[in-house]
């Protein structure tokens, strides 16, 4: 499963994985774009195993419906790539009334991953990959004001969300110790994608002179998805297909644990119709009967 596949890094990743014969499940907000992408992938790669599931990552109800549809069709998941991301120039709210960048860049992959943990853990040598950014190095988790109500800033919001991606990876890798599932995140590089579509055009014309192509930007994601060597590493941050040391804030286990707990409060019970207990709060198996 790969989010954000209709353009940029996600599209290049989907094309390469399809070329390698993988069956793809693509959550897409715009089903028309999804169908166009499916046909393009089929024509280029000959791979017809492309399943589309409607999913709006700015809506927890939509994410839950997406996961439910997946679980009704499949009992295994070899690879989950949390690729989708946004960068907003103005403070806006998700359909759940949560600051949009925090909601889409962090809470969406957090919820989707947890909803799909059963088939992931039951699949031998499965992998979870989250696309972060070197922008995490400028980030701080503002636990007293995660949504920027007291002073929102576009760079501050994006950097915080990308730091959250690294901390999420670190915490989940810890919680999945003893399983064959690996969890890693990455910086794709400074890539010319729709992530920057709301930036001033003059700025992007200049930036495009030094930006990577989406195909180049997808290389580390593809490496983490397919390399046997990457399958032996977990809890790491990658750039240019190599393990790199993230910021000191990204290595803070106390912050990673606290962010996990706060995120659980945001998303609510992982399984509908089941009760979350105190003892389940810090476990990937987050609920019990």
Please name every residue paired with 25 in a beta bridge, in sequence order, or none if there are none.
Answer: 51
State yes or no: is 237 an active-site residue: no
Distance of alpha carbon 279 from alpha carbon 54, whole angstroms: 33
* Among 74, 158, 237, 266, the one annotated catalytic: 158
Give the DSSP per-residue string, 191-240: B-SGGGTTS-HHHHHHHTTTPBPHHHHTHHHHHHHH-TTGGG--SEEEET
Distance of alpha carbon 185 from alpha carbon 230, whole angstroms: 11
Q: List, as own/partner pairs, every contact residues 67-72 make where C-beta atoms lie below 8 angstroms and the sequence separation is at least 24, other chains included.
A: 67/112, 67/115, 67/116, 70/1, 70/25, 70/116, 70/119, 71/115, 71/116, 71/118, 71/119
Distance of alpha carbon 257 from alpha carbon 250, whole angstroms: 12
Rounded to 5°, angle at Cα 57 from 54 and 60: 95
**CB neighbours (10 Å) of residue 253?**
11
Angle between helices 108-115 and 60-73 (to 10 degrees): 30
CB 91 within 8 A of CB 152: yes
- The residues annotated as belonging to the active site are 158
């Amino acid at each position: 499963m790969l989010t954000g596949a209709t353009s940029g890094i996600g599209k290049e990743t989907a094309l390469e994985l399809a070329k390698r014969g993988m069956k793809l499940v693509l959550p897409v907000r715009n089903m028309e774009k999804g169908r166009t992408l499916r046909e393009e992938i089929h024509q280029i790669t000959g791979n017809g195993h492309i399943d589309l599931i409607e999913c709006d990552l700015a809506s927890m109800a939509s994410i839950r419906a997406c996961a439910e549809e997946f679980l009704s069709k499949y009992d295994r998941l070899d690879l989950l790539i949390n690729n989708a991301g946004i960068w907003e120039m103005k403070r806006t709210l998700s359909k759940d009334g949560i600051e949009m960048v925090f909601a889409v860049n962090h809470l969406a992959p957090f919820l989707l991953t947890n909803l799909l943990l059963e088939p992931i853990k039951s699949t031998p040598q499965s992998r979870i990959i989250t696309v972060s950014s070197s922008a995490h190095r400028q980030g701080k988790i503002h636990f007293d004001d995660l949504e920027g109500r007291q002073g929102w800033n576009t760079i501050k919001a994006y950097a915080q969300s990308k730091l959250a991606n690294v901390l999420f990876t670190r915490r989940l890798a810890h919680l999945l110790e003893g399983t064959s599932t690996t969890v890693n995140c990455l910086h794709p590089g400074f890539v010319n994608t729709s992530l920057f579509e709301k930036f001033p055009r003059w700025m992007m014309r200049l930036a495009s002179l030094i930006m990577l192509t989406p195909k180049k930007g997808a290389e580390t994601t593809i490496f983490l998805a397919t390399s046997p060597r990457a399958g032996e590493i977990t809890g790491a941050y990658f750039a240019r297909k190599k393990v790199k040391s993230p910021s000191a804030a990204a290595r803070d286990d106390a912050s990673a644990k606290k962010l996990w707990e706060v995120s659980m409060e945001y998303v609510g019970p992982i399984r509908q119709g089941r009760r979350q207990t105190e003892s389940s709060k810090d476990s990937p198996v987050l609920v019990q009967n």
